[in-house]
Structures are given as structure tokens and as C-alpha cells.
Chains A and B, each alone.
Chain A
Amino acid sequence: MKYIEEYRDADLTRKLLDDLRRAITRPWTLMEVCGGQTHSIIKTGLDQMLPEQIALIHGPGCPVCVTPLELIDKAIALASRPDVIFTSYGDMLRVPGSGRDLFAVKAAGGDVRIVYSPLDALEIAKANPQKIVVFFAIGFETTAPANAMAVVQAQAQKIPNFAVLVSHVTVPAAITALMESPDVRVDGFLAAGHVCTVMGTWEYEPLAEKYNIPIVVTGFEPVDILHGILDCVRALEASEHPVSNAYARAVTRDGNRPAQAVIQRVFEMTDRAWRGIGVIPMSGYKLRPEFAAFDAELRFPEVQAIETKESPLCISGLVLQGIKKPVECPAFGKQCTPQTPLGATMVSSEGACAAYYRYGRLGK
């Protein structure tokens, strides 16, 4: 497949690994921000091919992992209502709330449907005027434009039975929070390529400057990721801290202006809780007041009262910040396994805990 196979090429990978070995003189800890990158690293086995001096920390850029428990519980409460059709991206269904997951709601008779786009949820709303169709609008700046567009369309097409449960978060806020944390030791960031496709790279310039840390915009195929690591290591070895773009075929400095405009039109910045990490100030989006009619939390005010706490055993927040390794968790592999996850990092295939669980069985 064009634009895929070239970036999964074994020869090119080998060459980049050689370059990396030549460039590196001491240990560096890099964080790949995005869950999609983690997934690719695990799926291709890239993590085991890197020079030993490179420690990769799987960052908080997995929307499945950072959506707070409270929101999952709200989603579960909404999905359980007989007057609601609850729609979501597929992998949110298995994330455990404090009691159960969305699959269990479906099994108990809730109308829970997987969609691939929020616009599909809008179509479901049109086809089911007697129900309120709620879409779980989660994710980073990547999914925000499409989710915003669905709200704009709902307003334009006068679809009153469509609502969104919003839990959007943003990458620069996460990087800031990580850099402000005294426990986090990250030497460089591989920024999330698809977020930057939308937002551009300009937002990262003040961060790199303020924290003296290189931020390399990185793609998702193994060759892209190696390219990002190599750029980051070269900058570190030269004691430089640029914002550089190792994903130039998709990302420009300005980003996608129309997409940014629709985000601006529909959302405004707000404080957001990140699962396992806590509230990060001004780290997410919420609907602007003029779109309040489409806010599921306002539509069903009773869910606003839901407040929940994490499993006291789960240390996924520390794992997401790279402070602890999954195997240092007392519940790892005991109370917490991919079949019985206590935290989201054990749920998705790219979750750090799930990855460790698998490789642990191989004795690595």
C-alpha cells in the first residue's frame, strides 16, 4: 500500500537504527506523546530494536487512557437510559468505569452503538427522532474538528435530538503539566503527528523554549518514529532544543486553519481532569454557551452529580507520566490483567500496562 509500505521498510529501518547508534553517546529518555505511536512501536517490535541507551516512555496521548473515570461513569449512566442511543468510537466501550463498562450496559439492554465518525451518529439521530442520540466526544485535537463539525451540522440541520458528551483534551497542556511535575524525567518529546496536522507546530515553540527541551513532531509508521527519535537524539547530543518536524509530509507550521476555526467556533478552553493524573488547568475543550443545546451534561443534568474515584490499587497515572513502570504496580498481573483491567492503560493494545503484560510473558 502506497505511503504505508515505504514507511515499514526493513532496510530503511536498519539504516536509521545504524544512524541512531552512531549519533547516541549516552542514555536519553524520550516520551512519545501519542497512543497511536505507542501502538505502532509495540506492533512492529520497534521498542526492542532500539539502542539500549534509549528509554521510551509511553505518554498520556491515548484518549482511551486519559478520559477520566467520571466521564466514563457519566457515559454509562447516559447509555443506560431507555430514551438514549449512545454512540462512541469503538475502543471506549471496553474501558472500565467504576462499576462496569459500556459493553455491560449494552448487554443489559442499553442501546450502545459503535460509530466511526460523529457524523454517523448524526445520521442515527435523524433516523431516530424519538430518541436522544449522544455521541461520546473524546480525544485530542485530532478528533475535535470532526466532533465540532457534527455539532455545527446538528445546529444547521436543526437536529434537536443530538447531543455530545465532551471530554476533549489538548497536547500542549499535557506537556506543560509533565514538565512542571518534579517527578517526571523526560529529555525530549516526540509530539503527536496527527494532532499537529490539525494544530500545526507553532504552539510548541514557547514550550521548547521555556523548558529547554526538544520537541520533534513525529509520525506513526516505524520509519517515521525512528526519524523522530533520531532528530530528537541529535538535538539532545548537540544540547539544542528546537521544535522540529519529522512528519513534514503531513504537518505544516500553521496546521489546518479551517479545522482550527471549527474547533474555535464550537469549543472553548476549560480545566479538565485526566484519568490517573488529575485536573490540568485549561487542558481541554468544552462546548461554547451558544451550543449548550447539544451538551449532553446539560440535557441530562442528573449526570453532572456523578463523582467517582479510581481504584485505589491502580497507578496508571504514574505510569502515564513515566514515573513508575507497570511492573512496579502491586496489582499488575494479579488483580489487573487485560481481561480484568483496573485502569485504562491495561485496556487498549497500546496501553503501557497491557504491553508489559504481554512481553512479560516472553521473559523480556
Chain B
Amino acid sequence: MPEKINLLGWTCPVPLQNYPTIVMGHGAGGKMMSDLIEHLFAPAFDNPLLAQMGDATALDLPPGKAAFTTDSFVVSPLFFPGGDIGELAVNGTVNDLAMRGAKPLYLSAGFILEEGLAMDDLGRLVTSMAAAARAAGVQVATGDTKVVQKGHGDGLYINTSGIGVIPAGIEIGPEQARPGDVVLVSGTLGDHGIAIMSVREGLRFETEIRSDTAPLNGLVEAMINAAGGRRPPLPNSLHCLRDATRGGLSAVLNELAGVSKVGIEFDEKAVPLRPEVNAACEMLGLDPFYIANEGKLVAIVDKGAAEAVLEAMRKHVYGKDAALIGKVVEAHPGLVTARTTIGGMRVVDLPAGELLPRIC
């Protein structure tokens, strides 16, 4: 983890102190809004692109194909063990770009603020976003703020879009899985989802589990280098990358199996799980393979490159618990199966909807 800045150290600059909470005027386009931009957003995200202050930002892109993605963040609570919505909003979009093999460069940040949001909370979240952007090596190049009436939002929502560039020779996509490939994961699964659940009303339980939110672009770069993807004519051996967010491992594998029209088999025992996450899942009757992650990826890799890629992952701070968990097969295309702890076999389907704690 990069050194976290002290979020509590943020203090309201003078013009904002008159308003301890967000009021409708902060979104009205007048003086209050420009104070907010001038004294909060601009200093936090400090970069020459924002200083352009135009309706749109002009960007320089290096050669290669551009990658473009967007994601909205609505997590509740805004602050949770191991992270907050601001950090999540940066890492989530950075990771979506990285999963295409792109080098993330620029983000937009759209804020929907609910009237009554504590200015101090907004300050902490924006500071946290800025720190996450620096850690991931991306610039927040443009932004927008809207305020909605009390009761029409959940404190704050953030949308981030991202632009990155895919270097020549990188062919990573969900359709690239082939029978014979192996499946890797970058570390322990389920940490984020269980951390969030542990602080939700009705399910609150004591735990030390922290969200795993992290930018994975550095890890992906290390994997690409290890796989030889940047040195054509060597065969491109990193076939698919996905960050295992909503729906967890199961959603990712099902999607890859479906798009690539292959079967996927994994070994439950090989999947890294923290004992406390496993225990929480046992208690709640949840399947850890369905739980969300915010700093873990799943890779499908040519078998010949697996060892080199795995080694590179384990050397990286966000991949030190990486493991080989399964393989791509010709049988049962579109279907994911797991070898269970007792040596049985089960189908690991897509989750039907919201994950629900079981009654018994």
C-alpha cells in the first residue's frame, strides 16, 4: 500500500467554513460553487490540465489505441474499513482501464452531492481521491459538481470516466481464453464485500477485515512484461484480465467462459481466502466466490507463461498472494465448475441478484 495521507489533517479553507454542510447553492453555478472548486477541488487535484478551466480539457495522448471507460460509485457507507468512496472511485476506473492492458492516464470526476453532506466529509473524500490518483499515476483532468435536495441522494455519488492508452501488441480481451490456458487470481478474495457488509445496518459484526481497494495498473504492467506481450513477435500470452468486482470470482469466470465459449474449472482449495472472510461467509451463509473485490484481478494466461506471470505477480505489492486456481477446458462451454474441498464437483453459476444471507 502506498503511504496514506492523513485525511483528518484536511481543514476547511476559509470561504468554505461558513458552510459546514453542502447546501443547494453549492451546485447553483455561482460564487458558492466557484469557491468549492477554487478552494477544494482544484487544490486537491492540483494539475496543469485542471488549470485550463475550460468547458473541456485538451489532452495529449501517446501513440496506441485509446481505452475509455466509465463507472459510478454509490457505496454506502461513504467511509468503510480500509477505504472510502473517493479512493474506490479512482481505483475502480483505473482498474477497468488496466484490465484492457491500457496504461491509465486521465480521469474525469463527476460528483452528485446531497444537500446536508458534511463539508468535512467531502473534504476528506476529495483528499482521498487525489491521493489515490497520485498513487495510480493518473490525472483528474475534468470534473463536475451537482447538488440534489436532501433525501434524493445517499450523501454523495461519484462517477469517474477514464482514458488510457493500449500499447501496440497488447491483445487482452474477454474473448481470448483458450482451452489449455490457466486461471490466476492476484490475491485473497472477498475482502471488500465482507468489509462493507460488516458495517451495514442489520448485519454489523466485529471484524478486522479491510477493503482491498487498490490500483492494479502497476501489477498489470508487471504481468504484461512477464508475459512478453510487449515484445512482438513473441506470442501474446496474457489472454484475459478482469477485476473481480461485483459478483466476485464467479461473475468474472462465467463471463469469460461465456464470451470465449470455453469451460472453466477451478479448485476451491487453491483460491486464496482470509480465514476471517471465510468465517464471515460461513456465518452469513454466503459463498466467498460471489463476494465483491476492489483490488483483485483474475487472469487467463497461456500455460507456458503461467509460471513467469505468477512470479511477477507475487513480487508486486498487490499480487503477493497470487495463485493458480484453475484451467480453461473445451468441455461444457459457457459453464464454470469447481472442484470442491471434498473432491466433488459443482457448477458455479452467476449470482441471481443481490447476495442474501441464508436463514439456515
Please tell me which one of the listed residues A103, A140, A361 contacts residue B354 in the complex, with CB atoms under 8 A apart: A103
A89 to chain B, nearest CB (A): 4
State the CA gap A90–B356 with chains docked (Å). 5
CB distance from A102 to the nearest CB of B (A): 11
Q: How far is the CB of A165 from chain B (nearest CB, A)?
A: 14
Question: Which of A39, A43, A45, A139 lies at the interface centre, i.e. has the most chain B CB atoms within 10 A of its CB?
Answer: A45
Does B330 lie at the interface of the complex (its beta carbon under 8 Å from any beta carbon of A)? Answer: no
Contact for B357 among A49, A91, A139, A338, CB less than 8 A: A91
Say if the beta carbon of A60 comes within 8 Å of chain B: no
- Per-residue CB contact flags for chain B residues 325-338 toward chain A (1 = under 8 Å, else 0) read 00000001001010
Residues of B within 8 A of A44 (CB): 340-342, 344, 346
- List A contacts of B202 (CB < 8 A): 87, 113-116, 120, 124
A contact residues, range: 35 or more
The answer to whether B360 touches A10, judged by C-beta atoms less than 8 angstroms apart, is: no
Are A139 and B342 also in contact (CB < 8 A) when A94-B352, A362-B337 are?
no
- Least distance between A74 CB and chain B CB atoms (Å): 18
Contacting pair B342 A8 (CB below 8 A): yes
- Is B343 touching A49 in the complex (CB atoms < 8 A)? yes
A139 to chain B, nearest CB (A): 6
- CB contacts under 8 Å to A, within B181-237, are 201-203
Q: Which residue of B lies closest to A341 (CB)?
A: B352
The reply on B275 being an interface residue by CB < 8 A is yes
Q: Is the interface of B mostly helix, strand, loop or mixed?
A: loop
Known: A44-B346, A45-B344. A39 touches B352 (CB 8 A): no
B151, CB-defined interface residue at 8 Å:
no
Known: A10-B343, A94-B353. A1 touches B360 (CB 8 A): no
- Are the C-beta atoms of A361 and B346 separated by less than 8 Å? no
Closest residue of B by beta carbon distance from A63: B359
Q: Give Cα distance in the complex from A9 to B193, angstroms.
A: 27
Residues of A within 8 A of B278 (CB): 1
- Assess whether A77 is interfacial by the CB under 8 Å rule: no
Residue A143 interfacial (CB < 8 Å) = yes
Contacts of A36 in B (CB 8 A): 358, 360
What residues on B are CB-neighbors of A5 within 8 Å?
341
Q: How far is the CA of A66 from the CA of B342 in the complex (A)?
A: 30
The closest CB in chain B to the CB of A120 belongs to: B202
- Interface membership of B284, Cβ < 8 A: yes
| Nearest-CB residue, chain B, relative to A142 | B360
The residue of chain A having its C-beta at the shortest distance from the C-beta of B287 within the complex is A43
Q: How far is the CA of A143 from the CA of B344 in the complex (A)?
A: 30
A115 to B284 CA separation, bound complex (whole angstroms): 11
Tell whether B282 is near chain A: CB-to-CB under 8 Å: yes
Closest B residue to A89 by beta carbon equals B359
A110 within 8 Å of B (CB atoms): no
User: Do B343 and A13 touch across chains, with their CB atoms under 8 A apart?
Assistant: yes
Q: Within residues 71 to 100 of chain A, which ones have a CB less than 8 A from any CB in chain B? A: 87, 89-94
Inter-chain contact A348/B344, CB cutoff 8 Å: no
Convert B301-345 into 0s and 1s, putting 1 for each residue whose CB lies closer than 8 angstroms to a CB of A: 000000000000000000000000000000010010100111111
Residues of A near B341 (CB, < 8 A) are 5, 8-10, 44, 222
Whether the pair B335, A361 counts as a contact (CB closer than 8 A) is: yes
Decide: A114 and B344 in contact? CB cutoff 8 A. Answer: no
Output the least CB separation between A224 and chain B (Å): 11
Q: A194 on the interface (CB 8 Å rule)?
A: yes
Bound complex: CA A113 to CA B202 (Å):
8
For residue A135, give the distance in angstroms from its CB to the closest CB of chain B.
Answer: 11
- A339 interface residue (CB < 8 Å to B): yes
Cα–Cα distance between A194 and B285 once the two chains are bound (Å) = 15
Q: How far is the CB of A100 from chain B (nearest CB, A)?
A: 14
Interface residue? A34 (CB, 8 A):
yes
* Contacts known (A94-B352, A361-B335); A45 close to B357, Cβ less than 8 A: no
CA distance A35 to B203 in the complex (A): 22
Is the Cβ of B360 less than 8 Å from the Cβ of A63? yes
A4 on interface, CB distance cutoff 8 Å: yes
Q: Which residue of B lies closest to A221 (CB)?
A: B342
Q: Would A46 and B349 count as touching, CB distance under 8 A? A: no
- B347 in contact (CB, < 8 A): yes
Are A89 and B345 touching (Cβ within 8 A)?
Answer: no
**Does chain B have a CB within 8 A of A157?**
no
* Interface pair B344/A48, CB less than 8 Å apart: yes
* Contact B282–A42 (Cβ < 8 Å): no
A114 in complex: contacting residue of B203, B285, B335, B345, CB < 8 Å: B203
Contact A339 B342 (CB under 8 A): no
**Among B278, B332, B358: residue with most chain A CB under 10 A:** B358
Q: Does B168 contact A (CB under 8 A)?
A: no
Q: Mark A260-299, 1 if CB is under 8 A from B, else 0.
A: 0000000000000000000000000000000000000000
A14 at the interface (CB under 8 A from B): yes
B201 touches A113 (CB 8 A): yes
Q: A116 and B346: CB pair below 8 A?
A: no
Q: How far is the CB of B280 from chain A (nearest CB, A)?
A: 11
Docked pose: A120 CA to B205 CA in angstroms: 12
- Whether B346 and A1, one on each chain, are in contact in the complex, defined by CB atoms closer than 8 angstroms, is no
Are A91 and B346 neighbours in the complex by a CB distance under 8 Å?
no
B53 on the A face (CB < 8 A): no
Residues of A within 8 Å of B342, CB to CB, are: 8-10, 13, 44-46, 49, 222-223
The verdict on B279 contacting chain A, using a C-beta distance below 8 Å, is yes
- Docked-complex contact B347 and A362, CB < 8 angstroms: yes
Out of B275, B332, B346, B359, name the residue touching A43 (CB < 8 Å): B346
| Residues in A neighbouring B343, C-beta threshold 8 A | 10, 13-14, 49
- A90–B353 Cα distance when bound, in Å, is 12
Chain A interface residues toward B at CB < 8 A: 1, 4-5, 8-10, 13-14, 34-36, 39, 42-46, 48-49, 62-64, 87, 89-94, 103, 113-116, 120, 124, 138-140, 142-143, 194, 222-223, 338-339, 348, 358-359, 361-363
Report 9 cross-chain contacts, Cβ distance below 8 Å, ordered by A residue.
A1-B282, A13-B342, A36-B360, A44-B346, A89-B358, A91-B357, A91-B358, A93-B356, A116-B202
